[in-house]
Amino acid sequence: MGDVLSQSEVETLLAALDPAPRSTIGAASGPPSISPTPVRRRDSGPQISVYDFKRPERVSKEQMRAFQALHEGFSREFGAALSGMLRAIVEVKLISVDQLTYSEFVFSLENPTCFNLLESKGLEGHLILDLSPSIIFPIVDRLLGGGKESIPSIPSRPLTEIELQLVSRITALVIQGLESAWHNVCNLGLRVSQIESNPQLVQIVPPNEVIVLVSFEITMGEVRGIMNLCIPFNTIEPLSGKLSADTWSAYQKKGLDARQRVILEDGLSKAAVKLIVNLAHTTLTARDLAHLAVGDVIMTEHPREDGLEVVVEGCPMFMAKPGAVKGKKAIRVVSMVAHSRDVLRDKLKAVKETPAAGASPANTSSPPSGKAAK
């Protein structure tokens, strides 16, 4: 039989476990117990965080924020595309962006699962897309004509060949969304090269290699599941400069392409605007205005040669001449009204085109005066 602890030793152990004072344990008639030694509490000092030198944080916080902003846009786009394909409300939400080792990621997955190995042309390496069985089987059931009722139990088996063909439609949407989200960083050029049910059979990097794990939660009705995107650090290391740049943005402004330009021009050409032609401006007294009659002539200080001012939506735009077409009053636009900004632009253009002192006369030729203004 082992040694029996004495009363003082028991009190010392209890005091070490709980810093609060405890009453003495023992019979009232027994010998007086020895009070436990008070435990000195540590002074509240600076917070100390544990750092493991075997697992250095190779991905900076700025790059992690870039990954988060990048895949938040992807989650919205993929959720909309998946809802359209399944004709049901599907919500895809970004849960977390973490960095850990590849072995920790592999051993945290279910077995069997839907483990897709993605090959990228734009990156030197592979990516991994993992789809949890808890959401992939309800999606397959929905694609095969299942109703709103949920599956009673998720089968614990690998996917069949028919189910893999249906899952390929989902992975195609994921690839399309990732390439669209990563368009401002690089051209991924992804394709599925291998599908496994046991994640431990695929070894794309060493077990202690750092990876970036992007986790999404897919919700369809009452069922939920996790989708994981594993990106090894050595695969995205050449792009670390683009992911760390202060000017980088996941929603970078894109240039207007020809198709969008034609659509905008067609829409603007059909817009209705208010057009007013001002004949002249003058001042009349109330007595003269009261005695006006049909046939009276109002004299103005506006010369006939200056033309009429055409106002579009309250802004003077053109000068025109009055006339008639087929018995109806009409105007003919002869010139555009020179605005202050246009005059300033022409002056700046003239200053830029003025040759420097000492330039040869051959370089000071002006453009022909008969060139039409656009």
Helices (H) and strands (E) counted in the chain, each on its own, are 10, 10
Bridge partners, 92 (sequence order): 218
Q: What domains can you pick out in the chain, each with its CATH number?
A: 1-39 (no CATH), 61-244 (3.40.1550.10), 269-280+304-337 (no CATH)
> Residue 269 has what pLDDT?
83
Dihedral sign of CA atoms 108, 95, 207, 201 in order: positive
CA angle 341, 342, 348 (to 5 degrees): 90
Which of 194, 107, 366, 14 is closest to 24 using CA atoms? 14
Q: Which residues of the chain have pLDDT under 50?
A: 1-2, 20-35, 39, 245-253, 357-374
> Residue 54 has what pLDDT?
57
Q: Which two tokens stand for residue 126?
A: 């592979």
Q: Is 134 helix (H, G, I), strand (E, B) or coil?
A: helix
> Residue 72 has what pLDDT?
87
Q: How many angstroms separate the CA atoms of 329 and 317, rounded?
A: 20
> Residue 41 has what pLDDT?
52
Q: Quick check: 11 and 24 in contact, CB under 8 A?
A: yes
Q: Is 173 helix (H, G, I), strand (E, B) or coil?
A: helix
Question: How do beta strands 190-196 and 114-120 pair?
Answer: antiparallel
For residues 30, 34, 38 and 39, what is the CA-based torsion angle, rounded to 10 degrees?
Answer: -90
> Residue 27 has what pLDDT?
42
The structure's pTM equals: 0.52
